[in-house]
Amino acid sequence: MESLWTGRGRGALAAAMPRWNPFREPSDLQNNNIIAPGNFEGKYRNDSDVEEIVDLAANSLLNKLIRKSLVESPHNVEVLQRDPTSPLYSVKTFVELHLKPELLQGVYAMGFNRPSKIQETALPMMLADPPQNLIAQSQSGTGKTAAFVLAMLSRVDPLKKFPQCICLSPTFELALQTGEVIEQMGKYCEGVKIVYAIRGNRPLKGTYIDAQIIVGTPGTVMDWCFKLKLIHLEHIRVFVLDEADVMIGVQGYTDHSVRVKRAMPENCQMLLFSATFEDTVWCFAERIVPDPNIIKLKKEEMTLDNILQFYDACANREQKLQALCNIYSTFTIAQAIVFCQTRKTAKWLACEMLKDGHMVELLSGELTVTDRAIIIQRFREGREKVLITTNVCARGIDVQQVSVVVNFDLPLNTDGLIDFETYLHRIGRTGRFGKKGIAITLVEKCCVYMLHDIEEHFGINIKRLNTRNVDEIEKFLPKGNL
């Protein structure tokens, strides 16, 4: 397997995206100014009081960077077949797929012993002859990328020196991550080349792309196809659209993707992947994938049953700070995430807590994804007990051992009303996988009525907790499984 870097070469690209190295020693982390614990003044300069906007592409990359292994799902795969009369079959081993030996070797070299739940059903469909189109949805980390990479590599003819598979990703960094999986899995595939159609990797004019696999972002791929005429699309056999839910958030990307797709042969196999299936994703999927098979893997249901919910009413934010400092002493046996609505409040709170002698870490959206990954990793390892953050951390990011969530601010939408979904996602950071957790919302006295909206919406009861009484708090902290 060869990776083709034209133009400025790989060094420039690698420099543009500092890779996350999970094996960095703590001393390296401490020496790096940007991520040194404490010293929030220096590293967080943009303390905007505008609400933090969740960046789906950044979260998706963050999850990839901090993930250690496959996310196993307890749910069964749901399948909607294009032809319901054709037998549906799934595989329990990679051998049953009759892969080329060098590809099987690559799969095993990655440490994959058996297909994941989504791969069991998706792979036979993706590798079937004649090729079938597929739309697949399952949560992040369940093995989608590995599945479509395997499908591309198994369809490639190494003797033919022209593009045969294209994979579109929503960002430069996500395309690089996918490319890395292709390079790893295809490392024993002689004569197969991959090229990255991403900004900064511009081939010389007049050259012709002889790589069989192209991975890139829709804008650059479109330019290479139509403006620079570097890619001929008439022999493309597999077209993959990855992270469709993130893709539709980037302006113009759905149209670019449709344009590229229209120039491909009609019988080209279309594979579309997404972590969610909202209406917008469906519309896009239906526009671009004719006659699809559809596979869905249910998400882990978020439940509030095992989360005890409390509130305390405070006069102002200084009193809320005091309440948090009182609660802090109970965190010696637990790990907590504290949610603020804006970067400015989060930074203020972190600085005040630190001044008061409490060790906390701050995470907001202004840090690069790599630095965010380092902070989350430290928190996961238990090096920090308390993470103060904004909504950037409310959904999608997995830290399993959190047992206390504090809402320093109520989650509000742009109309100033409770944002129920964000409340659910925030407090869902605790109580994962059936463990017990507690959620404490600190609310200004004038806003206590808003808690009733939450109670009514979720059909729950949020009890008053006296945060001045540490004994009372400890009484409620879940024991035995922290």
Ligand X SMILES: Nc1ncnc2c1ncn2[C@@H]1O[C@H](COP(=O)(O)OP(=O)(O)OP(=O)(O)O)[C@@H](O)[C@H]1O
Residues at the contact surface with ligand X, assessed by CB under 6 A? 60, 63-64, 67, 69-70, 112, 115-116, 119, 140-146, 275
Token duo for residue 435: 């463990």
Of 124, 125, 126, 133, nearest to 97 by C-alpha is: 124
Instruction: Pick the closer one to ligand X by CB: 60 or 422.
Output: 60
Instruction: Pick the closer one to ligand X by CB: 345 or 377.
Output: 377
Rounded to whole angstroms, the Cα distance separating 350 from 40 reads 8
Rounded to whole angstroms, the Cα distance separating 286 from 178 reads 24
Q: Supply angle C-alpha 444, 445, 451, rounded to 5.
A: 80
- As measured in angstroms, the least distance from the Cβ of 357 to ligand X is 39
Rounded to whole angstroms, the Cα distance separating 250 from 326 reads 43
How far is residue 19 from each of residues 49, 312, 328, measured CA to CA in Å?
30, 42, 34
- As measured in angstroms, the least distance from the Cβ of 253 to ligand X is 17
Given a contact cutoff of 8 angstroms between Cβ atoms, the answer to whether 219 and 252 are in contact is yes
Rounded to whole angstroms, the Cα distance separating 242 from 235 reads 20
Instruction: Pick the closer one to ligand X by CB: 49 or 72.
Output: 72
In a 3-state reduction of DSSP, which class is residue 447?
Answer: helix
Instruction: Pick the closer one to ligand X by CB: 167 or 264.
Output: 167
Instruction: Pick the closer one to ligand X by CB: 92 or 227.
Output: 92
Token duo for residue 56: 């789906």
Rounded to whole angstroms, the Cα distance separating 438 from 39 reads 29
Instruction: Pick the closer one to ligand X by CB: 141 or 179.
Output: 141
Backbone angles phi, psi at 286, to 5 degrees: -70, -30
- As measured in angstroms, the least distance from the Cβ of 151 to ligand X is 12
- As measured in angstroms, the least distance from the Cβ of 92 to ligand X is 11
Burial class (CB in 10 A: 0-12, 13-18, 19+), 19: exposed
How many other C-beta atoms lie within 10 A of the C-beta of residue 167? Answer: 26
Instruction: Pick the closer one to ligand X by CB: 150 or 362.
Output: 150
- As measured in angstroms, the least distance from the Cβ of 162 to ligand X is 27
- As measured in angstroms, the least distance from the Cβ of 225 to ligand X is 25
- As measured in angstroms, the least distance from the Cβ of 60 to ligand X is 6
Q: How many helices (H) and strands (E) does the chain have?
A: 18, 16
Instruction: Pick the closer one to ligand X by CB: 60 or 154.
Output: 60
Peptide bond into 130 cis (omega under 30): yes
